[in-house]
Chains A and B, each alone.
Chain A
Amino acid sequence: MSRNSLAPGADTAPAPDGGSGAGRGPLARLASAAGRWEFLILLLIIATCVAGQAISPQFLSRASFMTGSLDFTEVALMALPLTLIIITAEIDLSVASVLALSSALMAWLWMHDVPMVPTVLLCLVAGALCGLFNGLLVTKGGLPSLAVTIGTLALFRGLAYVVIGDQSVTDFPTAWTDWGFGMVGTSILPNTIAVFAVLAVIFAVLLHGSRFGRSIYAIGANQEAAYFSGIKVKRIKLILFVISGVVSALAGVIISLRNSTAAANVGQGFELTAIAAVVLGGVSIFGGRGTVGGVVLALFLLAAIQKALSLSESISTAWIQVVTGALLIGSVLGPNLVSRMNEARARARMRGDAQARPPTTSQEEAV
């Protein structure tokens, strides 16, 4: 896939049209900012807010924010490590199944009188092991992560049912469950979203401000080149899968507390929403590009769309999935089309206007 000014993170390699807009005039800078993917998402969020308010006067309210963000906690958490994994051009489809396994394990441990703190810790360890399993198959086994994690998507969900069957456990200590659906102080920020915010900052610093992060981009841009430049490709991927397992297990603990119920059938289909958020956030599904900020904005957009649709009195909830799917396709297709157009324009410019060839012809050639 070719590079383009629309996609975030394009600056990991010099963009063909000359870069970031620094040193150019304010107008040009504005234009380049407007062309950025994050800006588009921001526009979409504003459009959703306007449309949402038209759909229901309840849309722009404190309650919408509180419940809308609370209900999105798990997807948001899982999207963070997924962002890093997808930038390395791998994928983890098993996240929601790790969440379910963690929830089931939590139920089992609590049923067997294990205190809360060790229960939570053991769930996180189990998540790490799930991630390690994925990571080893991908790195040592040399298998494609798509195939491995489709397998573990079924495997971990199956294990969750083995652990707890169709039972559910609900008698967690109220201090813990109250935290799960509580707000920070008297604000409208759910506790769980505060956890997400902290993790988002950590992941942003990790990806955008550390050597580790630079290696992640390098692997995604060109794995061979990264390997020969001394980057420990396999080890970094393994670490990312383990992180993904741990964060997904944390999401499993949180969803169990938030609903005061631990069961094996929670979070079905969450992996798709999380991947949709990552790709919609401007992360290239082919690796090498993307920002945590873009993904955070995309999560906000998806949560807003879901809230707006669920508040509508005339739109069926089935449309939530339709819209999520359409956005996913659009966000893969959109940058691709724009980059083709940009390239075509750039090539036409290089050939020079003197030849005065009709732009349509050159565009066709470029494509």
Chain B
Amino acid sequence: MNTSRITRALVASAAAACLVGAVAACQDSSSDSSSTTAKTGGGGEIPKGLKTVSMPKQLGNPYEELEHSGVTEAMEELGGTNRVVGPTDAGASSQVPLINSVTQQKPDAFIIAGNDPNAVAPALKAMAKAGVKVVAMDSDVAPDARTVFINQANTQGVGEDQIKLVCELVPKCTGEIAILSATANAPNQNAWIKVMKEVLKQDAYKGLKLVKVAYGDDDDQKSFQEMQGLVKAYPNLKGVIAPTTVGISAGARYLSTSPFKGKIVMTGLGTPNQMRKFVKDGTVTAFQLWNPKDVGYLAGFAAANLVAGNITGKEGETFEAGKLGERTIGKDGEILLGPLQRFDKANIDDFDF
């Protein structure tokens, strides 16, 4: 009885081993993609029929779906195709098995928004070795694991654009303004605020006076109370910039039911879905964020130009990015999307994220 059970276990293991052997015996099918043949090198045309795969952090996120639809739009414009493949959870390593499978499919290029900069790096390096061009967008991966990175917003640009917008919205660009930030040590927000303070020193903005930076800790309730506090403490307040999606919607919610609705300018970084009702009811005139679809669109063009050999990822190289115009590769292979997208009554219904 006992020995027969062991035998059976061994037989089963042997069967598994046979399967391993069978797979091992299989030839490594190395069918090279035919569309990469049209390499022209430097300034050449983009070959038709390019195949790309783009990978969001997680399936089912409307923001990311928009981003990756941008890649698809770019590829279709260039006569190629893009396929979106992604994991169902955003764990640090959930993308790895899928990346490995994409490597086997050998598309011309691969575009990824990384869940974790380093967890995906070994798999991406293996992919690059197999001849696939790797482009990161939105969330960068380890720089040696991709050729270029599409940065939706650099610190300087985000800071400048927000001051530009508040200046436009506050009557005569004159009066007291405040900032409603996330936590006191949030690195992104602090970097932007630092730029804003620098920009405010310029002559064009000398009418604006920054009176306070408040911290809502990216908590809806806390942000709401901080907004209330700002309005009470500074009776001459003309505008509030909230460079965080939590802050801007909490601030707008407070204003929408207060007597200051329409009198104090509320602006900053927000998503259209969150802000739609405040724009429609007149609490908020305009706010900003990068346009996610353009992030993907630019990534698609960068990928195609890499495949065509027009660019190699070196600083200073330039390429045409369709409707976005010419783009230049910056330091460490970074390509900037450009100015923030402005959302207001006129265009907010064109966006769903």
Residues of A within 8 A of B (CB): 8, 11, 20, 22, 38, 42, 45, 56-58, 60-65, 67-68, 70-71, 168, 170, 177, 181, 187-189, 200-201, 204-205, 208-209, 255, 258-261, 263, 265-269, 291-294, 296-297, 300, 306-307, 310-311, 313, 316-318, 320-321
Mind listing 29 A-B residue pairs with CB under 8 Å?
Answer: A11-B5, A45-B19, A58-B29, A60-B26, A61-B104, A63-B28, A65-B20, A71-B97, A168-B118, A258-B93, A259-B92, A259-B116, A261-B93, A261-B118, A265-B91, A265-B92, A267-B93, A268-B91, A291-B12, A292-B9, A296-B13, A297-B15, A300-B19, A307-B101, A310-B98, A310-B101, A316-B59, A317-B85, A317-B86
Contact of A259 among B11, B96, B98 (CB under 8 A): B96
- Is B90 among interface residues, defined by CB-CB distance under 8 A? yes
- The 0/1 profile, CB within 8 Å of A marked 1, for residues 100-135 of chain B is 110111000000000011111110000000000000
Other CB < 8 Å A-B pairs besides A170-B119, A310-B85, 18 of them? Answer: A67-B101, A70-B100, A177-B122, A188-B23, A204-B13, A208-B6, A259-B119, A259-B122, A261-B116, A266-B93, A292-B9, A293-B11, A293-B16, A296-B13, A297-B16, A300-B19, A306-B97, A311-B104
What separation, in Å, do the CA atoms of A24 and B98 have in the docked complex?
49
- Is B233 among interface residues, defined by CB-CB distance under 8 A? no
A56-B5 CB under 8 A given contacts A65-B24, A259-B122, A263-B116: no
What separation, in Å, do the CA atoms of A343 and B8 have in the docked complex?
25
Closest chain-A Cβ to B54's Cβ sits at a distance in Å of 13
Tell whether, in the assembled complex, residue B97 and residue A57 are in contact, meaning their CB atoms are under 8 Å apart: no
What separation, in Å, do the CA atoms of A205 and B122 have in the docked complex?
36
- Is B202 among interface residues, defined by CB-CB distance under 8 A? no
Tell whether, in the assembled complex, residue B13 and residue A267 are in contact, meaning their CB atoms are under 8 Å apart: no
Q: Which residues of the other chain, A, contact B119 by a CB distance below 8 angstroms?
A: 168, 170, 259-261, 263
What separation, in Å, do the CA atoms of A259 and B122 have in the docked complex?
7
Name the residue on B nearest A100 (C-beta): B91
Closest chain-B Cβ to A83's Cβ sits at a distance in Å of 12
Tell whether, in the assembled complex, residue B104 and residue A67 are in contact, meaning their CB atoms are under 8 Å apart: yes
Chain B interface extent, by class: 35 or more
Name the residue on A nearest B18 (C-beta): A42
Name the residue on A nearest B59 (C-beta): A318
Residues of B within 8 A of A (CB): 1-2, 4-6, 8-13, 15-16, 19-20, 23-24, 26-29, 31, 59, 83, 85-94, 96-98, 100-101, 103-105, 116-122
Tell whether, in the assembled complex, residue B9 and residue A293 are in contact, meaning their CB atoms are under 8 Å apart: yes
Closest chain-B Cβ to A301's Cβ sits at a distance in Å of 10
Contact of B29 among A11, A57, A205, A313 (CB under 8 A): A57
Closest chain-B Cβ to A233's Cβ sits at a distance in Å of 21
Contact of A293 among B8, B92, B117 (CB under 8 A): B8
What separation, in Å, do the CA atoms of A206 and B5 have in the docked complex?
12
Name the residue on B nearest A38 (C-beta): B12
Q: Which residues of the other chain, B, contact A188 by a CB distance below 8 angstroms?
A: 23-24
Name the residue on A nearest B97 (C-beta): A71
What separation, in Å, do the CA atoms of A310 and B97 have in the docked complex?
8
A261-B92 CB under 8 A given contacts A61-B29, A296-B16: yes
Name the residue on A nearest B24 (C-beta): A188
A20-B13 CB under 8 A given contacts A71-B97, A259-B92, A311-B104: no
The 9 closest A-B pairs by CB, nearest first: A293-B12, A67-B100, A170-B118, A261-B119, A71-B97, A310-B101, A259-B119, A263-B92, A58-B104
Closest chain-A Cβ to B100's Cβ sits at a distance in Å of 4
Among A261, A292, A320, which residue has the most Cβ atoms of chain B within 10 A? A261
Name the residue on A nearest B106 (C-beta): A58
Q: Which residues of the other chain, A, contact B100 by a CB distance below 8 angstroms?
A: 63, 67-68, 70-71
What separation, in Å, do the CA atoms of A57 and B33 have in the docked complex?
13
Q: Which residues of the other chain, A, contact B23 by a CB distance below 8 angstroms?
A: 60-62, 64-65, 188
Q: Which residues of the other chain, A, contact B31 by a CB distance below 8 angstroms?
A: 57
What separation, in Å, do the CA atoms of A204 and B7 have in the docked complex?
11
Tell whether, in the assembled complex, residue B103 and residue A63 are in contact, meaning their CB atoms are under 8 Å apart: yes
Q: Which residues of the other chain, B, contact A181 by a CB distance below 8 angstroms?
A: 122
Q: Which residues of the other chain, B, contact A316 by a CB distance below 8 angstroms?
A: 59
Name the residue on A nearest B2 (C-beta): A209
Q: Which residues of the other chain, B, contact A71 by a CB distance below 8 angstroms?
A: 96-97, 100
What separation, in Å, do the CA atoms of A36 and B6 have in the docked complex?
16
Q: Which residues of the other chain, B, contact A177 by a CB distance below 8 angstroms?
A: 122
Closest chain-B Cβ to A215's Cβ sits at a distance in Å of 13
Closest chain-A Cβ to B19's Cβ sits at a distance in Å of 6
Tell whether, in the assembled complex, residue B87 and residue A317 are in contact, meaning their CB atoms are under 8 Å apart: yes
What separation, in Å, do the CA atoms of A43 and B220 have in the docked complex?
55
Contact of A267 among B1, B59, B91 (CB under 8 A): B91
Closest chain-B Cβ to A207's Cβ sits at a distance in Å of 8
What separation, in Å, do the CA atoms of A208 and B1 have in the docked complex?
10
Q: Which residues of the other chain, A, contact B89 by a CB distance below 8 angstroms?
A: 268-269
Name the residue on B nearest A57 (C-beta): B29
Contact of A61 among B27, B92, B117 (CB under 8 A): B27
Closest chain-A Cβ to B14's Cβ sits at a distance in Å of 9
A321-B88 CB under 8 A given contacts A209-B6, A292-B9, A296-B13: yes
Name the residue on B nearest A71 (C-beta): B97
Tell whether, in the assembled complex, residue B91 and residue A266 are in contact, meaning their CB atoms are under 8 Å apart: yes
What separation, in Å, do the CA atoms of A351 and B27 have in the docked complex?
57
What separation, in Å, do the CA atoms of A296 and B13 have in the docked complex?
7
What separation, in Å, do the CA atoms of A57 and B27 have in the docked complex?
11
What separation, in Å, do the CA atoms of A310 and B88 have in the docked complex?
12
Q: Which residues of the other chain, B, contact A209 by a CB distance below 8 angstroms?
A: 2, 5-6
A313-B26 CB under 8 A given contacts A61-B104, A255-B93, A260-B118: no
Name the residue on B nearest A313 (C-beta): B83
Q: Which residues of the other chain, A, contact B29 by a CB distance below 8 angstroms?
A: 57-58, 60-61
Q: Which residues of the other chain, B, contact A208 by a CB distance below 8 angstroms?
A: 2, 5-6, 8-9
Q: Which residues of the other chain, A, contact B117 by a CB distance below 8 angstroms?
A: 170
Q: Which residues of the other chain, A, contact B26 by a CB distance below 8 angstroms?
A: 60-62
Tell whether, in the assembled complex, residue B28 and residue A204 are in contact, meaning their CB atoms are under 8 Å apart: no
Q: Which residues of the other chain, B, contact A265 by a CB distance below 8 angstroms?
A: 90-92
Closest chain-A Cβ to B303's Cβ sits at a distance in Å of 17
Name the residue on A nearest B102 (C-beta): A310
